[in-house]
Amino acid sequence: MTSNQLWHWHITVADSEPPIWRRFQVSSSVTLAQFHGVIQAVMGWQDCHAYRFQYRRQTYALPGVAPARATAATPQDVTQVTLADLGLAPPDDLTYTYDFQSGWLHVLRLEAVTEGRDQPIVAHCLEGEMACPPEGSGGVWGYGELLERLADPEDPEYEMLLNWIGLDFDPDKFDRSGANQRLGAVG
């Protein structure tokens, strides 16, 4: 794989209903640590927690991050591995876990590989649906409960939850322009 290839990805937050997803492209030459930054920007996360990638039986994480299972090998260093190094081909899947306590599992599907331009784009978001859940909302199930509680103004903690999540939060809205602005800051 050449370094100027653009890899086209579809990412979904596992078990989200309705699905929270994005479609984006990124240069195959980025390291997995840089790819983490791209995912954070595309999804709308704030990079507050540890993360890891898994492809086939190998785990990739920052040094010091525990393996996915007690019996697993020590993860490979995400700062030393590029996307191209993984040997992926469409339609391979890669998993990304963000915030181990909440368990935000993301499934990334490599949809296509195209030749990049003379000046490669580091990353660009093409489309998506649904807002990114707020940090600290407790995984897919905690986020679902949060949305249920916000739909009930009689909930005793309604005002506190509304202040925490923000008055402008709309779970049904995805801001592609905002995602691309965040990507511009990453790359």
Q: Which tens digit of pLDDT belongs to each residue from 51-87?
A: 999 999 999 999 988 766 666 678 999 999 999 999 9
Cβ distance 19 to 12 under 8 Å? yes
User: What is the pairing mode between strands 21-27 and 5-13?
Assistant: antiparallel
Q: Which tens digit of pLDDT belongs to each residue from 28-48?
A: 999 999 999 999 999 999 999
Q: Quick one: residue 147, left, alpha or beta (phi over 0 = left, psi -120 to 50 = alpha)?
A: alpha
Average pLDDT over residues 168-172: 95
Mean pLDDT, the chain, integer: 92
Any residues with CB less than 8 A from the CB of 78 and at least 6 apart, and which? 31, 32, 33, 35, 36, 53, 60, 61, 62
Q: Which of 99-108, 119-128, 152-161, 163-172 shows the lowest mean pLDDT across its residues?
A: 119-128
Q: Which two tokens stand for residue 155?
A: 């909930």
Q: Given pLDDT bands bounded at 50, 70 and 90, which one contains residue 1?
A: very low
Asked whether the whole model's pTM tops 0.85, one would answer yes
Average pLDDT over residues 143-156: 96
User: Please, where are the H alpha helices in 25-137?
Assistant: 32-43
Domain ranges of the chain: 5-131+172-186
Q: How many Cβ atoms are within 10 Å of 9's Cβ, its own excluded?
A: 23
Q: Quick one: residue 50, left, alpha or beta (phi over 0 = left, psi -120 to 50 = alpha)?
A: beta
Find where tokens 């992926």 sit. Answer: 88
Q: Spelled out in words, what is the top-level CATH class assigned to the domain 5-131+172-186?
A: alpha beta
% pLDDT > 90, the chain: 84
